[in-house]
Amino acid sequence: MDKSSFEVKVGLAEMLKGGVIMDVTNSEQAKIAEEAGAVAVMALERIPSDIRAMGGVARMSNPKMIKDIQQAVSIPVMAKCRIGHFAEAQILEALEIDFIDESEVLTPADDVNHVWKHDFKVPFVCGCRNLGEALRRIGEGAAMIRTKGEAGSGNIIEAVRHMRTVQMDIKKLTVLKNDELMAVAKELGAPFALVKQVAETGKLPVPNFAAGGVATPADASLMMQLGAESVFVGSGIFKSEDPAARAKAIVQAVTYYNDPKILAEISAGLGDAMRGIAMEEIPEDQRLATRGW
């Protein structure tokens, strides 16, 4: 019996496809998310928009709060560790969290290295802005990739930029010859074997989800149509006027992303979405997406 193989890690990511992973900060929110049809919840003490507002150092959540959420729901529970903070990751593994998000939303612990994720039995998801970053994370052992977007912004523009960039980078590889791939691998800063694999298959070797800025069913549909296989929603649900209704609508939007009639129906009467921030209002040094190397 083989536990913790890469196949088993990616297997869970496969099961989460076509679903919505929702940020929750307590067991009540976790139950609302599950009731709405979330495929998983992300347990964290403060949602990204609050982290942004409050400043200070954002760390792994309190294990007590994570355990409460694990008790409250039967769907998979994810939690975040700081970039490079392998000790936080070890603690999350000891808590038997189902997926660890090595996340730019928390304050990075290492400005050079990420966690060596192959050492863990629990699968990891990591953020990316482009193909090189995605393949470096997969090289380190990530079993799922999510485009970063700009967490806590309620603004989809960065998520779109990152998803389009990854897709464009992949398309370019598929038309290159073998002798050109090494130069591209150097340019991307990505492991050659993975670059070659993507060139051959035309897709990432692990599922690719979207995150960072999804606030409406239309946002979810947009990301799915651009090639996301699932959607993470952070602040977008519990910062809105009617979280339960919005959560349910976004779940339906991910399944019926190609059906504008259904999207029109489910988008009606949801109350106000989170307010959102224009990117120009976020100073460069406060942007979360630039964290990660």
Q: Any idea which residues carry the catalytic annotation?
A: 80
- Return the residue of 86, 232, 238, 256 that touches another protein, per CB under 8 A: 256
Does 152 help bind another protein (rule: CB under 8 A)?
no
Per-residue tokens: 200? 């051959």
Stretch 85-104 residues interacting with another protein (CB under 8 A):
93, 96-99
Q: Which is nearer to another protein, 144 or 288 (CB)?
A: 144
Question: Which range touches another protein (CB under 8 A), out of 41-49, 190-198, 216-224, 251-259?
Answer: 251-259
Question: Which range touches another protein (CB under 8 A), out of 11-19, 80-88, 131-139, 180-188?
Answer: 11-19
* Number of residues located near another protein, criterion CB under 8 A: 40
For residue 32, the number of C-alpha atoms closer than 13 Å in the C-beta half-sphere is 17
Instruction: Name, in order, each residue with C-beta under 8 angstroms of 154's C-beta and a sequence gap of 6 or more.
Output: 49, 213, 215, 235, 236, 239, 273, 274, 275, 276, 277
- Return the residue of 71, 110, 121, 193 that touches another protein, per CB under 8 A: 121
Does 17 help bind another protein (rule: CB under 8 A)?
yes
Does 16 help bind another protein (rule: CB under 8 A)?
yes
End-to-end CA distance of the chain: 35
Per-residue tokens: 172? 């370019």
Question: Which range touches another protein (CB under 8 A), out of 70-78, 104-112, 183-191, 211-219?
Answer: 70-78
**Cα separation of 251 and 255, whole Å?**
7
Helix axes 217-225, 260-267, angle to 10 degrees: 160
Does 119 help bind another protein (rule: CB under 8 A)?
no
Q: Which is nearer to another protein, 4 or 62 (CB)?
A: 4
Question: Which range touches another protein (CB under 8 A), out of 102-110, 118-126, 163-171, 176-184?
Answer: 118-126
Q: What is the DSSP letter of 71?
A: H
Contact predicate 179/193, CB 8 Å = no
Q: What are phi and psi of 74, to 5 degrees?
A: -105, -10
**Cα separation of 78 and 169, whole Å?**
29
Which chain residues interact with another protein by CB under 8 A?
A: 1-5, 7-8, 11-12, 14-19, 34-40, 74-76, 93, 96-99, 121-123, 248, 251-252, 254-256, 259
